[in-house]
Amino acid sequence: MLGALDVQEGHSSSSADCHVRYLYDMPHDSTYYAKSLFAGALACGLTHAAITPLDVAKTNMQVSPLKYKGLFPSLRLLAAEEGSKGLWKGFGPTLVGYSLQGMFKYGLYEVFKDYYMNLAGEGASEQYKPFIWLAGSASAEVVADIALCPLEMTKVKIQTSSTGTFPIAFGEALKQMRATKVETRYPFGSIVPLWSRQIPYTMAKFFCFEKTVQLFYKHVFMEPKESYSKGAQLGITFASGYVAGVVCAVVSHPADSLVSLRGKNEMKGKSVGQIAQEVGMKSLMTKGLGTRVLMIGTLTGFQWWIYDSCKSAMGMGTTGGK
């Protein structure tokens, strides 16, 4: 275990013959972690990009609730005003940004989880497993959001700007963000609200997923995991991911609303506290929540399904079980 102290019996710790060594062995090798990074990039990048229209509708419902009322009315209005391009605004930064975020979120979660288990030791790591899940996911998300932030800011600006006031094309949007970085605080101006949204979201996502998988295999599918088909195992993964997604959508929605509102021209230069006070907590907690629950529940279920499918295909097995 990490930091385990091995002192040869019968020798004083001050003896020249004392053999002391610290063991820093991780439970998995670098190949395992590299595969986790790759699977995480696919899981987040593909799923977030695929639901770009839902994200565009949700974001506009948050920043302009009087105009955009409900998921399907918002989608119809966007299509009528801007055509199909309006529904897919922000696809480029979404695909790239969430691929990077997913790579670090999932890959580093495996690293930090193993690291904290080693720090705790074998007995304590089993006893305090839920805390290890929370600490590992929070640590991974801190890094993941640094990679995501510039692209998330670009995506939100594309999706919330009035037609013709900001470039839709990915490359042109990045140039414009760099050109206006003094007023937009690009590339890390939204890192604090992003952390406030994503860290609780990810902690809830990983904790609830791990716990739900554990409960499924303990109380419902009580035979050894290997006795179930890969399809059944991945079905358990998807169901657990969906449950986790619903929980973390509710937990993180106020902060998600703040991130979206910061991209609105009228909110330029205002602090997070000022925006929250003007909009009100009820609005932050409820506007676009139904759409986000549907979006994040489905998204998270498929993310875990893709992640475990990749792990299974690469010989790493699915999550949970004995």
Q: What is the per-residue pLDDT across 256-280, written as a single tens digit (0 to 9) for each?
A: 888 778 767 777 777 778 888 888 8
Q: pTM score, two decimals? A: 0.80
Q: Do residues 38 and 99 lie in contact, with contact meaning Cβ atoms separated by under 8 Å?
A: no
In angstroms, the CA 38 to CA 57 distance is 29
**Token pair for residue 66?**
């009087």
In angstroms, the CA 186 to CA 263 distance is 11
- Which CATH topology does 30-313 take? Mitochondrial carrier fold (1.50.40)
Range with the poorest average pLDDT among 20-24, 28-32, 158-162, 232-236: 20-24
Instruction: Kindly list the domain boundaries of the chain, sorted by start residue.
Output: 30-313
- For 118-174, write each residue's pLDDT tens digit: 999 888 988 999 999 999 999 999 999 999 999 999 999 999 888 889 999 999 999
pLDDT of residue 24: 52
- For 204-225, write each residue's pLDDT tens digit: 899 999 999 999 999 999 999 9
Q: 136: closest CA among 112, 171, 107, 155?
A: 112
